[in-house]
C-alpha cells in the first residue's frame, strides 16, 4: 500500500475522531448550569481531561517508538467509544455530586484516548514526508479543523432534536463504524511499512559493521533547558489559549443575544471551518514562500489577540455589541491558528536537531510534545476562561487576556533567536571546480590551434 493512501487514512481518522475534541462544549456546560454548577467548576471539568492527556502524551513521547502505532490508535478509539456511551448515561443520574465526579473521571479517560490517537497519527508524518513537513502538517490540520468544525455543529443539532443522552450514543456508534472500516487498512499498511523499514535497517547495520554507538532519545530534562524550546513552547501555549479560554462561557454569551443552541453550534464550528480553509492557503501558497516560522507565529498570535477583542466585545474597545463582531471574531480566531499549530512540530524537530543531532525517536518525541502542549493550553485556558468570566464578565475577561498575549509577543519577537548555519565548502569540491576550469582552458586552446 502506498504511503499516500496510508497518509489519507490517517487524515480521515483524525477528521472523524477530532469531532470529539470539542463535541461536548455546546452540550455539557448548559446541562451542568441547569444543575446549579458554577462556571469555574465547569471550566475545571472541561479542562480536567488535559491532565491525563499531558501524562499520556509525555509517556508516548519517550516510548511510542517501542509500540505498534496502529494498535495504539485502536486502543485510543476503543476508549473514545466507551467514554461517549458512559457520558450519555449522566442524564439518568439524580445526584449532582455523582454527575460531576463521573464527568471528571470520563474526561480523564477521554484525555488518554485522544492522546493515543492524536500523538500516534502525528508521529507518522515526519517518517512519511521528512522533506515536506510544513505542507503535510497543514494537510493534517485541515482534517483536524474540519473535525473540530463538525463537532459542535453536530452536537448543537443533536442536542436540540434527540436530547443529551442520544447526542453521545449516536457519536459512539459513528466512532465504532469509523474504526471498523479504517483499521484493517491501517494494519495492512503498517505491516508493509515495517517490512520495508526492517530491510533498510538491516542494510544500514551491514554498512556500519564495527560501530558500537547506539543512538538514544533526548531526555525531557535536556529539552526544557533549551531557551529556544521554551520560547517556542510558550508562544504556542499563549496563542492557542485564545481558543480554549472562550469555551466555559461562550455558549451563554451567544445565548444572551437571544440565539438558539443550533446557532451556538454553528458559531463554534465557524472558527474551525475557517481554520480548515486556511489550511489550503498554507499548503498551496504560504508554505512555499519559505517565510521564517517566527514571523508566522507572531502573525497568527496577533490575529488571535484581535479575535478576542471582537468576541466580547469590551465596551472600552468601542466595538459595537452584537453577533456580527462575534462572528467576525470567531472567524479570525480560526484563521489565526493555522499560522502556528501545523508549524509547531516542524519547529520542534529543528530545535531537537540543534540540541543533539545524534538521537533517535525525534518524530515520536515532537508529536508527544505537541499533544502535551495542546493539553497544557486547554487545561490552562478553560480554567482561566471560567475564572475571568466569573470575576470580570466574558467581554472584559477576553480583553484582559488579549493584553497579556500582546506582552508576550514582544518578548518572543526579541527573544527567539535562530542559529546561523555556516556553509562549509569542501576542498575536494574546490579542487574539482579548479580542474574543470583548467580542462576548459586546455580545450579552448586546442580548438584555437585547430582553427589556425
Return the pLDDT at 195.
Answer: 65
**Rounded mean pLDDT of 171-175?**
89
Taking 70 as the threshold, does the pLDDT of residue 449 lie above it? no
Q: Is 178's pLDDT higher than 50?
A: yes
Q: Which residue has the cell 447526542?
A: 167
For residue 240, is pLDDT > 50? yes
Can you tell me the mean pLDDT for 38-58?
Answer: 80
State residue 302's pLDDT score. Answer: 94
pLDDT higher at 101 or 141: 101
pLDDT of residue 407: 94
Distance CA 13, CA 164 (A): 25
Count of Cβ atoms closer than 10 Å to residue 254 Cβ: 24
Dihedral of CA atoms 250, 253, 257, 263 in degrees, nearest 10, equals 20
Q: Which of 52-56, 89-93, 366-370, 436-440 has the lowest mean pLDDT?
A: 436-440
Q: Output 338 or 48, whichever has higher pLDDT.
A: 338
- At residue 60, the pLDDT reads 87
151 band by pLDDT with thresholds 50, 70 and 90: confident
The mean pLDDT of 150-158, rounded to a whole number, is: 80
pLDDT at residue 199 greater than cutoff 80: no
The DSSP result for 223-280, as a single string, is HHT-HHHHHHHHHHHHHHHHHHTTHHHHHHHHHTTT--HHHHHHHHHHHHHHHHHHHH
Domain boundaries, the chain: 3-197+236-415
| Higher pLDDT among residues 424 and 184, named by residue | 184
Q: Is the pLDDT of residue 207 over 80?
A: no
Fold (CATH) for 3-197+236-415? Growth Hormone; Chain: A; (1.20.1250)
User: Among 225-234, 269-278, 339-348, 366-375, whose mean pLDDT is lowest?
Assistant: 269-278
Looking at residues 412-422, what average pLDDT do you find?
Answer: 72
Judge whether 289 and 67 are in contact, CB under 8 Å. Answer: no
What pLDDT, on a 0 to 100 scale, did the predictor assign at position 323? 87
Most confident of 88-92, 299-303, 372-376: 299-303
Is pLDDT larger for residue 346 or for residue 316?
A: 346
Three-state secondary-structure class, residue 216: strand
DSSP secondary structure string for all residues of 416-441 = ---PPPP-PPPHHHHHHHHHHHHHHH
d(CA 286, CA 290) in angstroms, rounded, equals 7
Radius of gyration in angstroms for the set of CA atoms belonging to the chain, rounded to a whole number: 25
Which pLDDT belongs to residue 422?
43
Cβ 297 vs Cβ 239: under 8 Å: yes
What is the Cα 397 distance to its own chain's centre? 25
Q: According to the model, what pLDDT value does residue 419 have?
A: 65
Alpha carbon 402 to its chain centroid, in Å, reads: 21
User: For position 410, what pLDDT does the model report?
Assistant: 93
Q: What's the chain's average pLDDT?
A: 79
In terms of pLDDT, which residue wins out, 12 or 1? 12
* Phi and psi at residue 417, to the nearest 5°: -115, 150
**Is the omega angle on the peptide bond into residue 268 within 30 degrees of 0, that is, cis?**
no
Whole-number Å distance between alpha carbons of 281 and 95: 49
pLDDT above 90 coverage of the chain, percent: 12
Q: Is the pLDDT of residue 16 over 80?
A: yes
Confidence (pLDDT) at 403: 93
- pLDDT score of 186 more than 70: yes
Amino acid at each position: 500500500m502506498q504511503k499516500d493512501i496510508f497518509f489519507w487514512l490517517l487524515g480521515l481518522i483524525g477528521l472523524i475522531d477530532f469531532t470529539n475534541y470539542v463535541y461536548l462544549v455546546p452540550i455539557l456546560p448548559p446541562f451542568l448550569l441547569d444543575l446549579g454548577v458554577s462556571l469555574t467548576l465547569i471550566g475545571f471539568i472541561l479542562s480536567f481531561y488535559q491532565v491525563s492527556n499531558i501524562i499520556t502524551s509525555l509517556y508516548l513521547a519517550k516510548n511510542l517508538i517501542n509500540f505498534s502505532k496502529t494498535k495504539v490508535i485502536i486502543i485510543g478509539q476503543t476508549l473514545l467509544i466507551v467514554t461517549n456511551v458512559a457520558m450519555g448515561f449522566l442524564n439518568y443520574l439524580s445526584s449532582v455530586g455523582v454527575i460531576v465526579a463521573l464527568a471528571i473521571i470520563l474526561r480523564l479517560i477521554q484525555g488518554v484516548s485522544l492522546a493515543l490517537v492524536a500523538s500516534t497519527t502525528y508521529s507518522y508524518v515526519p517518517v512519511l514526508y521528512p522533506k515536506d513537513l510544513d505542507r503535510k502538517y497543514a494537510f493534517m490540520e485541515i482534517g483536524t479543523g474540519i473535525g473540530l468544525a463538525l463537532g459542535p455543529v453536530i452536537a448543537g443539532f443533536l442536542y436540540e432534536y434527540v436530547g443529551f443522552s442520544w447526542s453521545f450514543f449516536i457519536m459512539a456508534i459513528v466512532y465504532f463504524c469509523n474504526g471498523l472500516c479504517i483499521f484493517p487498512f491501517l494494519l495492512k499498511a503498517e505491516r508493509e511499512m515495517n517490512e520495508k523499514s526492517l530491510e533498510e535497517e538491516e542494510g544500514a547495520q551491514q554498512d556500519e559493521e564495527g560501530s558500537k554507538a547506539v543512538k538514544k532519545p533526548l531526555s525531557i530534562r535536556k529539552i526544557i533547558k533549551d531557551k529556544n524550546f521554551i520560547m517556542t513552547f510558550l508562544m504556542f501555549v499563549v496563542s492557542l489559549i485564545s481558543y480554549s479560554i472562550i469555551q466555559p462561557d461562550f455558549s451563554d454569551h451567544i445565548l444572551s443575544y437571544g440565539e438558539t443552541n443550533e446557532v451556538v453550534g454553528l458559531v463554534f464550528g465557524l472558527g474551525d471551518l475557517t481554520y480548515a480553509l486556511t489550511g489550503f492557503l498554507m499548503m498551496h501558497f504560504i508554505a512555499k514562500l519559505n517565510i521564517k516560522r517566527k514571523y508566522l507565529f507572531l502573525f497568527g498570535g496577533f490575529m488571535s489577540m484581535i479575535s478576542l477583542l471582537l468576541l466580547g466585545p469590551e465596551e472600552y474597545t468601542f466595538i459595537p455589541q452584537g453577533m456580527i463582531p462575534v462572528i467576525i471574531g470567531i472567524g479570525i480566531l480560526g484563521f489565526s491558528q493555522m499560522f502556528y499549530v501545523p508549524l509547531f512540530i516542524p519547529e520542534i524537530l529543528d530545535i531537537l536537531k540543534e540540541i543533539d543531532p545524534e538521537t533517535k525517536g525525534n518524530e515520536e518525541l515532537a508529536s508527544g510534545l505537541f499533544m502535551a502542549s495542546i493539553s497544557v493550553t486547554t487545561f490552562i485556558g478553560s480554567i482561566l476562561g471560567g475564572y475571568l468570566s466569573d470575576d470580570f464578565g466574558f467581554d472584559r475577561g477576553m480583553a484582559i487576556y488579549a493584553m497579556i498575549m500582546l506582552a508576550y509577543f514582544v518578548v518572543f519577537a526579541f527573544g527567539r533567536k535562530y542559529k546561523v548555519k555556516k556553509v562549509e565548502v569542501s576542498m575536494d569540491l574546490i579542487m574539482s571546480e579548479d580542474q574543470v576550469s583548467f580542462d576548459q582552458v586546455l580545450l579552448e586552446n586546442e580548438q584555437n590551434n585547430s582553427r589556425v
